[in-house]
């Protein structure tokens, strides 16, 4: 049987040209080689799996190539290039600093550095994860880094630039590698798929690219995983199932519910998501991103920030047209707040449900705001459900006060509470909530904010709650 090689290794780029998404950087490196302006030390920084080691290897090969091509690439045909490609060149040394981080390891390397190459011009030392070197190893290395022999080039690579000592930084030319965009990743996956005779829906590759979050190695590993799951035909559905990703469809539907003020449907949808085995934080993080994507999809200027495939982009644009801007801002804020307080919340499900209720109510508030009025008759319930459901919701909201969430706008009138009708309304809607006597408020002209200070916990009736 033919040996199986993972795609990340099989499709490692072998020329600067074929490196995806790092064009500015590879051009600079190529120019430096063509004009013979080589530095002694380079620092490649950036996220995992975006091509640092790959570029270091291409660089090593190119500076040793015996006949560069017209556009400054290694020829991949000369003796030196072939040796590199077959991984038997003596001019490249890779040290993984994560596992060889002692002074002795570095001393060994420093010893080696003095010996000139037997064939070719340069010896290249690639030190991966250089931030893992111990402090004494760093010091042992410093002298060599400052005045290396003419034939030596160091390429240090790291994912954590901030951990590199300033003394090292100042001796290196620094190259910052980008996360690779979803679009570029999808294109590369397309290329790999076509080479492997695999058919793949663009939307499916899009989900893989999003999941990889800018790392090409991750994207290729996920791709391999999906291929072994599906055989040779990658569909959107199969990727969603295999990667346990929440379908976009949920968020589009949910947003439609919000726009139509359908609270119950939104809560049922959330229940459905939980039943499918997704957790609340997953769901709410996705919801914040959905609102963010709607926001950037609304304006042609920000549209390039929407990293999705063409058909889903179209759906974002359509839905964005239906969403008023203030709604999107506030929905983003509410869902993000929920995301932030999720970890510490005692009742996570309730927290998400409340957020959904609040977002669904935003559209009604928007109507008031858009008419340039402050929400009038703020205590008038905005719910469209029967009375019992309204009460439960109001109670949910008041209970939420215990977790320091702001009351929704329609429950915070700016008029004094002594207004008899409003007082009666609160009484009616929340009969078992302990309210202060009305008279006291009438005389002191107490405002609703003071009243809120006195809402008592339903469970611990004697405990006073303080807000802000």
Ligand X SMILES: Nc1ncnc2c1ncn2[C@@H]1O[C@H](COP(=O)(O)OP(=O)(O)OP(=O)(O)O)[C@@H](O)[C@H]1O
Binding letters toward ligand X, positions 69-88, x by CB under 6 A: --------------------
Q: Looking at 50, 81, 113, 205, which residue binds Zn ion (CB under 5 A)?
A: 81
Q: How far apart are CA 468 and CA 452, in angstroms?
A: 11
In angstroms, what is the minimal distance from the CB of 222 to ligand X?
Answer: 12
Of 25 and 354, the one with the shorter C-beta distance to ligand X is: 25
Q: Looking at 23, 34, 48, 347, which residue binds ligand X (CB under 6 A)?
A: 48
In angstroms, what is the minimal distance from the CB of 182 to ligand X?
Answer: 14
Q: Looking at 65, 182, 294, 320, which residue binds Zn ion (CB under 5 A)?
A: 65
Choose one: 46-54, 77-85, 165-173, 460-468; the region binding ligand X (CB under 6 A).
46-54
Q: Looking at 18, 40, 69, 75, which residue binds Zn ion (CB under 5 A)?
A: 75
Interacting partner of 81 out of ligand X, Zn ion, none (Cβ under 5 to 8 A depending on kind): Zn ion
Interacting partner of 65 out of Zn ion, ligand X, none (Cβ under 5 to 8 A depending on kind): Zn ion
In angstroms, what is the minimal distance from the CB of 29 to ligand X?
Answer: 13
Of 200 and 409, the one with the shorter C-beta distance to ligand X is: 200
In angstroms, what is the minimal distance from the CB of 37 to Zn ion?
Answer: 20
Nearest-10 Cα torsion for 278, 282, 283, 284: 150
In angstroms, what is the minimal distance from the CB of 331 to Zn ion?
Answer: 57
Of 139 and 221, the one with the shorter C-beta distance to ligand X is: 221
Interacting partner of 32 out of ligand X, Zn ion, none (Cβ under 5 to 8 A depending on kind): none
In angstroms, what is the minimal distance from the CB of 14 to Zn ion?
Answer: 11
- The verdict on 214 binding ligand X (CB under 6 A) reads no
Choose one: 10-18, 74-82, 140-148, 376-384; the region binding ligand X (CB under 6 A).
10-18
For ligand X, the binding residues in 217-236 under the rule CB under 6 A are 217, 220
- The verdict on 195 binding ligand X (CB under 6 A) reads no
Q: Looking at 15, 53, 288, 355, which residue binds ligand X (CB under 6 A)?
A: 53
In angstroms, what is the minimal distance from the CB of 180 to ligand X?
Answer: 6
**374 exposure class (CB count in 10 Å sphere: 0-12, 13-18, 19+):** exposed
Interacting partner of 78 out of ligand X, Zn ion, none (Cβ under 5 to 8 A depending on kind): Zn ion
Interacting partner of 323 out of ligand X, Zn ion, none (Cβ under 5 to 8 A depending on kind): none
Q: What is the 3-state secondary structure (H, E, C) of the chain?
A: CCCCCCHHHHCCCCCHHHCCCCHHHHHHHHHHHHCCCCCCEEEEECCCCCCHHHHHHHHHHHHHCCCCCCCCCCCCCCHHHHHHHCCCCCCEEEEECCCCCCHHHHHHHHHHHCCCCCCCCCEEEEEECHHHCCHHHHHHHHHHHHCCCCCEEEEEEECCHHHCCHHHHCCCEEEECCCCCHHHHHHHHHHHHHHCCCEECHHHHHHHHHHHCCCHHHHHHHHHHHHHHHCCEECHHHHHHHHCCCCHHHHHHHHHHHHCCCHHHHHHHHHHHHHCCCCHHHHHHHHHHHHHHHHHHHCCCCHHHCCCCHHHHHHHHHHHHHCCHHHHHHHHHHHHHHHHHHCCCCCHHHHHHHHHHHHHHHHHHHHHHHCCCCCCCCCCCCCCCCHHHHHHHHHHHHHHHCCCCCCCHHHCCCCECCCHHHHHHHHHHCCCCCCCCHHHHHHHCCEHHHHHHCCECCCCCCCECCCC
Choose one: 29-37, 61-69, 178-186, 277-285; the region binding Zn ion (CB under 5 A).
61-69
**CB neighbours of 277 closer than 8 A, spacing ≥ 6?**
244
Q: Looking at 14, 49, 210, 239, which residue binds ligand X (CB under 6 A)?
A: 49
Interacting partner of 190 out of Zn ion, ligand X, none (Cβ under 5 to 8 A depending on kind): none
Choose one: 46-54, 64-72, 221-229, 242-250; the region binding Zn ion (CB under 5 A).
64-72
In angstroms, what is the minimal distance from the CB of 235 to ligand X?
Answer: 24
8 Å CB contact between 172 and 43: yes
In angstroms, what is the minimal distance from the CB of 14 to ligand X?
Answer: 10
> 141 to each of 92, 102, 130, 317, how far by Cα in Å?
18, 11, 11, 54
> 186 to each of 7, 215, 238, 312, 385, how far by Cα in Å?
14, 12, 17, 14, 45
Of 51 and 120, the one with the shorter C-beta distance to ligand X is: 51
- The verdict on 9 binding ligand X (CB under 6 A) reads yes
Of 53 and 101, the one with the shorter C-beta distance to ligand X is: 53
In angstroms, what is the minimal distance from the CB of 58 to ligand X?
Answer: 9
Binding region for ligand X (CB under 6 A): 8-9, 11-13, 19-22, 48-54, 128, 157, 159, 180, 188, 216-217, 220
């Amino acid at each position: 049987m033919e040996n199986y090689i993972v795609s990340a290794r099989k499709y490692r780029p072998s020329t600067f040209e074929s490196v995806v998404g790092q064009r500015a950087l590879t051009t600079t490196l190529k120019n430096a080689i063509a004009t013979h302006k080589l530095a002694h030390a380079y620092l490649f920084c950036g996220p995992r799996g975006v091509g640092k080691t790959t570029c270091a290897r291409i660089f090593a090969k190119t500076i040793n190539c015996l006949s560069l091509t017209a556009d400054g690439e290694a020829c991949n045909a000369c003796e030196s290039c072939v040796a590199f490609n077959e991984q038997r060149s003596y001019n490249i040394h890779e040290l993984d600093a994560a596992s060889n981080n002692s002074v002795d390891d570095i001393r060994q390397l420093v010893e080696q550095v003095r010996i000139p190459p037997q064939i070719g011009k340069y010896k290249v030392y690639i030190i991966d994860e250089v931030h893992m070197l111990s402090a004494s190893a760093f010091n042992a290395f410093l002298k060599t880094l400052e005045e290396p022999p003419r034939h030596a080039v160091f390429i240090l690579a790291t994912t954590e630039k901030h951990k590199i000592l300033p003394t090292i930084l100042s001796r290196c030319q620094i190259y910052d590698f980008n996360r690779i965009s979803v679009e570029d990743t999808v294109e590369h996956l397309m290329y790999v798929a076509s080479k492997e005779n695999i058919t793949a829906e663009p939307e499916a590759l899009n989900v893989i690219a999003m999941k990889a979050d800018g790392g090409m190695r991750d994207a290729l590993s996920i791709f391999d995983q999906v291929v072994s799951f599906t055989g040779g035909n990658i569909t959107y559905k199969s990727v969603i199932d295999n990667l346990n990703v929440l379908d976009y469809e949920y968020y589009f539907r949910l947003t439609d519910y919000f726009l139509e003020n359908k609270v119950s449907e939104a809560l049922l949808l959330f229940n459905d998501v939980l039943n499918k085995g997704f957790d609340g934080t997953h769901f709410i993080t996705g919801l914040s991103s959905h609102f963010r994507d709607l926001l950037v999809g609304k304006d042609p200027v920000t549209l390039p920030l929407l990293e999705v495939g063409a058909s889903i982009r179209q759906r974002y644009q359509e839905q964005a047209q239906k969403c008023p801007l203030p709604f999107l801002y506030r929905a983003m804020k509410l869902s993000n707040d929920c995301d932030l307080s999720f970890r510490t919340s005692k009742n996570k499900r309730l927290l998400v449900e409340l957020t959904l209720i609040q977002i669904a109510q935003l559209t009604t508030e928007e109507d008031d705001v858009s008419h340039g009025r402050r929400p009038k008759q703020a205590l008038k319930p905005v719910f469209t459900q029967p009375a019992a459901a309204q009460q439960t919701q109001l109670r949910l909201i008041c209970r939420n006060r215990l977790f320091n969430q702001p009351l929704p706008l329609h429950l915070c009138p700016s008029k004094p509470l002594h207004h008899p009708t409003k007082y009666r309304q609160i009484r009616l809607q929340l009969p078992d909530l302990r309210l202060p006597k009305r008279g006291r408020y009438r005389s002191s002209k107490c405002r609703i904010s003071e009243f809120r200070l006195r809402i008592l916990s339903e469970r611990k009736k004697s405990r006073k709650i303080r807000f802000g």
